[in-house]
Structure 1
């Protein structure tokens, strides 16, 4: 019985490693899928027009939540709804990581 518990524990640990790797925030991958975003938000998150928000340097978790809320319909914008429709949660994490890593917003201290 003891050996069986060790096997189950080992498999659980391997599963946890693989699931946490899938949840990683990959800014490099985010940059590779950000070309569509750049049309309005600029290549580094500095918008091309005042109608679009600057997102470069914004907090990663905030950006991810905003994308997810557009996808879920909690935020309403026809352009953004169309942009996020085909994005996976991993795509949104990676985009958030990329834009959060850019210069832009800063906190006044």
Structure 2
């Protein structure tokens, strides 16, 4: 090698995120307050009682953030969810994801 450092794309991306000081973690306490409207379909704690609406409890926080951002951008298509996320900002989405991910989700016996 010529002595020139080689950076792997994933390591470089992680370094940029860490250097930016951006916090991706939401506040579950604030998320609980913001989730009141979500409870009508997904259950108060994210454990939906009907198969028509997915369980949010126990999902990975980053997955929930991505799903809500995708509904907001139109990447995921659902007219009900598009309306629900239309007025949410990034902090609201992070807080909601923190709340639902901190709840006990579906447990299966092994």
Unmatched tracts of structure 1, length 5 or more: 1-15
Aligned match of 2:97: 96
Listed one character per residue, the Cα deviations across residues 31-78 of structure 1 (whole Å, up to 9, x for unaligned) are 010011001000110113210000100000000000000000000000
Listed one character per residue, the Cα deviations across residues 78-101 of structure 1 (whole Å, up to 9, x for unaligned) are 000000000001100000000000
* TM-score normalised over the length of structure 1: 0.75
Q: Is the 8 A contact 1:57 1:101 kept in 2?
A: yes
Structure 2 distance, partners of 1:106, 1:61, is: 20
Unmatched tracts of structure 2, length 5 or more: 1-18
Aligned match of 1:41: 42
| Aligned alpha-carbon RMSD (Å) | 2.1
Aligned match of 1:9: none
Any runs of at least 4 consecutive aligned residues in structure 1 with deviations exceeding 3 A, and if so which?
105-109
Aligned match of 2:75: 74
Aligned match of 1:83: 84
Structure 2 distance, partners of 1:25, 1:83, is: 18
* TM-score normalised over the length of structure 2: 0.75
Aligned match of 1:61: 62
Q: Is the 8 A contact 1:57 1:106 kept in 2?
A: no
Number of aligned residues: 92
